[in-house]
Amino acid sequence: MKYIFLLSVLISFSIFSCKPTDPGNSTTTSTTGKPPVKKEEVSVDFNADSAYFFVAKQVSFGPRVPGTLAHGKCADYLLKTLDRFCDTTILQEDDMRSANGKIVHIKNLMGIFNPEAKKRILLAAHYDTRPNADEDKVSPNTPADGANDGASGVGVLLELARQFSKLNTSYGVDIIFFDAEDMGDRRGLSETWCLGSQYWAGNLHKTGYYANEGILLDMVGAKDATFAYEVNSLSFNQPLVVGVWQLGQKLGYGKYFINIDGNPVIDDHQFVQRITGIPMIDIIEYSFMTRSFGEYWHTHDDNMDVIDKETLKAVGHTVLHWTVQRDRNN
Ligand SMILES: [Zn+2]
């Protein structure tokens, strides 16, 4: 998405409730038996070529609009790929009503490392694409490729999953690919956005689930992107925002992670934080040109041409190191 709320509007934002359903009817779990590897035996390094491949692969299915064949094929691919790397995978699916009143079948996809660990990190991105490129001046009624708005965050997280599978972290790491983030009404309620994360937060895959910290990635692959402090993230978990930005700068990515306040953004992290209490932050592009997202946003320019490996590397490398630090301090 995302819809940017003015701060004054945000203050009057009301907490919403999600209809509880029985997750037992909608959740499928797969566990793979992987031999344990000692931490000292492996080294990890974020591979931007691999992340780029994962982005391009998603785009190759076509726009991943919920309910379409391309969306279903991409969901299958993502779940299979998570299953290659993670200890456990979970498919959570159900029907929800979208902003236009139609029922949409959503699928949230999870990959889990160390399911029994008490200390946990939640990493997430959305994989759906918006039904229409409604900011496009020429063709606003057809869907865009969603290379950055959708595929980039997932591409980074798949590469992180590949690295975590070598790292054999003792920390619990949960990766979620949320569905139906981008079906919201531009002038409507915030609850019309982020359907997958609202569903997951109200129907947790595991009773009593909690993560100590969470990071959401959204639009993290555009060339020369800048990431400002997302204002809601500061209120949810300011130390984490500042810590991740400082780490990114220390690793040499200061031109990407900039120390200014961006806009408050309605995104999946909001619903996760509000419903579950997990203090989740959002790494999301802030453009000085538009004072919003990049100019490609919700247009047909959001294709592989905007994706740059250096940006994927800046975000992926930073989140990888942050996770390794958490694990080593455990
Ligand atoms: Zn979007």
- Say how many Å lie between the CA of residue 23 and the centre of ligand 1: 27
Residue given tokens 């060339």 in the structure block: 223
From the list 285, 287, 289, 282, the residue with the least C-alpha distance to 311 is: 285
Helix (H, G, I), strand (E, B) or coil at 144: coil
- Say how many Å lie between the CA of residue 299 and the centre of ligand 1: 10
- Say how many Å lie between the CA of residue 165 and the centre of ligand 1: 30
- Say how many Å lie between the CA of residue 130 and the centre of ligand 1: 6
Could you give the residue ranges of the DSSP H alpha helices within the chain?
A: 7-11, 48-60, 69-85, 153-167, 195-202, 231-250, 268-276, 309-328
- Say how many Å lie between the CA of residue 55 and the centre of ligand 1: 16
pLDDT at 32 over 60: no
- Give per-residue pLDDT as tens, 296-306: 999 999 999 99
At residue 84's C-alpha, the angle toward residues 320 and 282, to 5°, is: 35
- Say how many Å lie between the CA of residue 133 and the centre of ligand 1: 9
- Say how many Å lie between the CA of residue 2 and the centre of ligand 1: 5
- Give per-residue pLDDT as tens, 56-107: 999 999 999 999 999 999 999 999 999 999 999 999 999 999 988 899 999 9
Q: What is the pTM of this model?
A: 0.90
**Which residues, by Cβ under 5 Å, contact ligand 1, an ion?**
1, 149, 182
- Give per-residue pLDDT as tens, 98-147: 988 899 999 999 999 999 999 999 999 999 999 999 999 999 999 999 99
- Give per-residue pLDDT as tens, 148-177: 999 999 999 999 999 999 987 889 999 999
**Cα 83 from Cα 299, distance rounded (Å):** 32
pLDDT at 8 over 70: no
- Say how many Å lie between the CA of residue 298 and the centre of ligand 1: 6
- Say how many Å lie between the CA of residue 47 and the centre of ligand 1: 26
Residue 94 sits at φ, ψ, to 5 deg, of: -170, 170
